[in-house]
């Protein structure tokens, strides 16, 4: 055993390595990106435990499917993504619960309550519940490591995919983790079950029955897990507290003061799902009031409430006792525990100026937006849709060049719909990585319907927003790819977004905007940050 200081993401990655990982796939997304990055740093550095694959994929769906394939071959596989990425991978994830999972298959998903870097706060535990598969929710980095090891065992024991859910605060903070020795990887051993991997309706029905029957075994496993710990207080029959994951830390930070005010309440901590119903009932039978402190949506709280009145009062996010949005903190759970608010730090200095996020100085997107704004001058019923990446900042001054951001790839589909509804001109803006993720399929639709739109691929040759991971195809392949999707080669143009080319670029954009039918303009210039990284590397070589 040895002690290491690790991010939550890194602890999870090391847990997978020590479980005998053979393959890890993912798509970058804050706060999950560091899992694959850690594995890529370890890959091939020596010893059997570093001889795995760790690879970025076109999107979360293809990443999940690759991991399922590795599991079919008998290997242990990890797949990583952020919470909204699981929407993209939902189809293979939910269906894979009906497969006869062979090599351990673990989905690591990192949620972002408080939306530090996301479009929403959705809670991935609902997806695990929906798919009816087990879910682990670590409360600290050490549990992230240990639970990932355990998740692979559970996956092979129950022949199911297993989720490990992190949240931003845990994924991106460091703590000491006691780690053990690595297990050897599982040998290549293709599943021998001929009907376990093919979801024809008659087989899927049978597999669904198997999944339903497994629920009782999963409940028993969850009831017996040391990660679901119940402590009944002999002296306090009034308050019981249920915490999940990180919520436990926020409760425990207040516990000393709470205990000196009113004694120790009874406490059930939940780290493994399905919810341990017998332990919940034992707690509820002991107290008059249950307070639920959970990061994310009120999943446990809703399961406690059901539809009918219960003999114990249930408090949490649904009745406003705990904040329903944003991250929990030790301070914002205090009122629900009957503790006074902590005084804030008094600040008497001058008001600080706002610092809205900005594109970097010299960013190629700045010059693309300038050319686009120039090209669109004078049009009244214009629409510029956009997508998810650094360029979403084009909504803000001084650019004010884009109008929409929904989800990965939506700029192209929305542009098609708006163009077919009669708007003109309609321009979609999307990054190179986002285009490969899920913009390509929207472009195929636009080609099929000859939609009157211009797509600008803002190709900076990297996935910049999540830390400059490489785009899975080089920029040189884009024109051939777009031709292959059916766009008329005469209307695939490449521009160099530099200030000195602004007027020329605006003219090219205008020509394509006026073309009736789909056209694509690739604005190709490398991200300033990857250029800086390269020069730093060159200087040290």
* Residues near ligand SF4 (CB under 6 A): 359-360, 363, 365, 390, 460, 464, 527-529
Q: Is the Cβ of residue 363 or residue 520 nearer to ligand SF4 in the bound state?
A: 363
**Which residues are paired to 521 by β-bridges?**
456, 493
Tokens matching residue 212: 């339903």
Give the nearer residue to ligand SF4 in terms of CB position, either 58 or 360: 360
Closest distance to ligand SF4 from the beta carbon of 36 (Å): 19
In the complex, the smallest distance separating the C-beta of residue 354 from ligand SF4, rounded to whole angstroms, is: 19
- Nearest distance, CB of residue 458 and ligand SF4, angstroms: 8
CB of 537 to ligand SF4, least distance (A): 17
Shortest distance (Å) from residue 365 CB to ligand SF4: 5
Cβ-based nearer residue to ligand SF4, 93 or 478: 478
The DSSP line for 362-431 is T-HHHHHHHHHHHHTTT-SS-EEE--SSGGGGGGSTTT-------STTHHHHHHHHHHHHT-SSEEEEEE
The total of other beta-carbon atoms located within 10 Å of residue 192's CB is 9
Which residues, 6+ apart, have CB-to-CB distance to 217 below 8 Å? 158
Count CA within 13 A, CB hemisphere, residue 439: 28
Sheet strands (E) in 432-474:
454-459
Task: Pick between residue 278 and residue 360 the one whose CB is nearest to ligand SF4.
Answer: 360
SS3 state of residue 348: coil
User: Smaller CB distance to ligand SF4: residue 50 or 529?
Assistant: 529
Q: Are 138 and 272 in contact (CB under 8 A)?
A: no
For residue 536, say if its preceding peptide bond is cis, omega within 30 degrees of 0.
no
By beta-carbon proximity to ligand SF4, the closer residue of 360 and 498 is 360
Q: Which CB sits closer to ligand SF4, 420 or 526?
A: 526
In the complex with ligand SF4, which residue's Cβ is closer, 359 or 456?
359
**Whether 52 contacts 17, CB under 8 Å:** yes
Q: Which two structure tokens, joined as six digits, stand for 498?
A: 């530099």
Strands (E), 48-154: 53-56, 76-82, 105-111, 135-136
Distances, alpha carbon 53 to alpha carbons 6, 220, 461, in Å: 21, 34, 23
Residue closer to ligand SF4 by CB (options 351, 361) is 361
At closest approach, how far in Å is the CB of 438 from ligand SF4?
A: 19
Smallest gap from residue 58 Cβ to ligand SF4 (A): 20
Instruction: Report the nearest approach of ligand SF4 to the CB of residue 399 (Å).
Output: 12
Nearest to 87 by CA among 109, 117, 103: 109
In angstroms, the CA 323 to CA 333 distance is: 8
User: Least distance in Å: CB of 392 to ligand SF4?
Assistant: 10
- As a whole number of angstroms, the distance between CA 487 and CA 338 comes to 64
CA dist., res. 454 & res. 491, Å (int) = 9
User: Which residue number, 54 or 363, has a Cβ lying nearer to ligand SF4?
Assistant: 363
Closer CB to ligand SF4, residue 87 or residue 392? 392
Shortest Å distance, C-beta 396 to ligand SF4: 12
Minimum CB separation of residue 360 from ligand SF4 in Å reads 3
Per DSSP, the three-state class of 172 is coil
| Count of helices and strands (H, E) across the chain | 20, 19
């Amino acid at each position: 055993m040895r002690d290491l200081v690790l991010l939550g993401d890194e602890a999870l990655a090391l847990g997978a390595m020590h479980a005998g990982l053979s393959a890890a796939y993912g798509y970058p997304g804050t706060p999950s990106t560091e899992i694959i990055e850690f594995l890529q740093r370890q890959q091939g550095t020596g010893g059997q435990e570093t001889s795995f694959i760790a690879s970025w994929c076109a999107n979360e769906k293809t990443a999940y499917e690759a991991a399922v394939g590795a599991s079919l071959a008998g290997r242990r596989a990890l797949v990583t993504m952020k919470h909204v990425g699981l929407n993209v991978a939902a189809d293979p994830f939910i269906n894979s619960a009906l497969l006869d999972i062979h090599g351990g298959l673990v989905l690591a998903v990192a949620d972002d309550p408080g939306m530090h870097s996301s479009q929403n706060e959705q809670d991935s535990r609902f997806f695990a519940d929906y798919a009816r598969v087990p879910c682990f929710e670590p409360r600290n980095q050490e549990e992230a490591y240990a639970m990932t090891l355990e998740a692979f065992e559970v996956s092979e024991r129950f022949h199911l995919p297993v989720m490990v859910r992190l949240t931003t605060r845990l994924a991106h903070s460091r703590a000491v983790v006691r780690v053990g020795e690595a297990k050897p990887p599982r040998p290549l051993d293709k599943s021998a079950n001929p009907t376990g991997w093919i979801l024809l309706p008659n087989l899927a029905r049978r597999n669904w029955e198997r999944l339903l029957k497994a629920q009782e075994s999963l409940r028993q496993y969850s009831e017996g897990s040391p990660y679901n710990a119940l402590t009944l207080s002999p002296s306090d029959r009034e308050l019981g507290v249920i915490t999940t994951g990180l919520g436990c830390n926020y409760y425990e930070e207040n516990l000393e003061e709470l205990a000196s005010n009113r004694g120790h309440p009874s406490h059930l901590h939940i780290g493994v799902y399905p919810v341990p119903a017998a332990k919940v009932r034992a707690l509820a039978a002991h107290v008059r009031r249950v307070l639920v402190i959970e990061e994310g949506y009120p999943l446990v709280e809703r399961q406690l409430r059901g539809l009918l009145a219960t003999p114990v009062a249930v408090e949490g996010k649904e009745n406003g006792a705990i904040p329903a949005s944003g991250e929990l903190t030790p301070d914002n759970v205090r009122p629900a525990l009957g503790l006074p608010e902590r005084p804030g730090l008094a600040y008497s200095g001058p008001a600080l100026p706002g610092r809205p996020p900005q594109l970097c100085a010299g960013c190629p997107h700045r010059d693309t937006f300038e050319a686009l704004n120039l090209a669109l001058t004078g049009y009244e019923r214009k629409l510029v849709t956009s997508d998810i990446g650094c360029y979403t900042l084009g909504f803000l001054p001084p650019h004010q060049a884009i109008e929409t951001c929904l989800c990965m790839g939506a700029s192209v589909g929305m542009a098609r719909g708006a163009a077919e509804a009669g708007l003109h001109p309609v321009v979609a803006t999307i990054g190179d990585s986002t285009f490969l993720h899920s913009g390509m399929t929207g472009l195929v639709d636009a080609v099929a319907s000859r939609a009157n739109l211009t797509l600008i691929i803002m190709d900076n040759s990297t996935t910049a927003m999540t830390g400059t991971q490489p785009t899975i195809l080089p920029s040189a392949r884009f024109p051939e790819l777009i031709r292959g999707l059916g766009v008329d080669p005469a209307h695939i143009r490449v521009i160099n977004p530099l200030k000195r080319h602004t007027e020329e670029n605006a003219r090219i954009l205008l020509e394509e905007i006026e073309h009736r039918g789909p056209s694509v303009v690739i604005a190709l210039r490398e991200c300033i940050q990857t250029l800086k990284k390269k020069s730093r590397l060159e200087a040290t070589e």
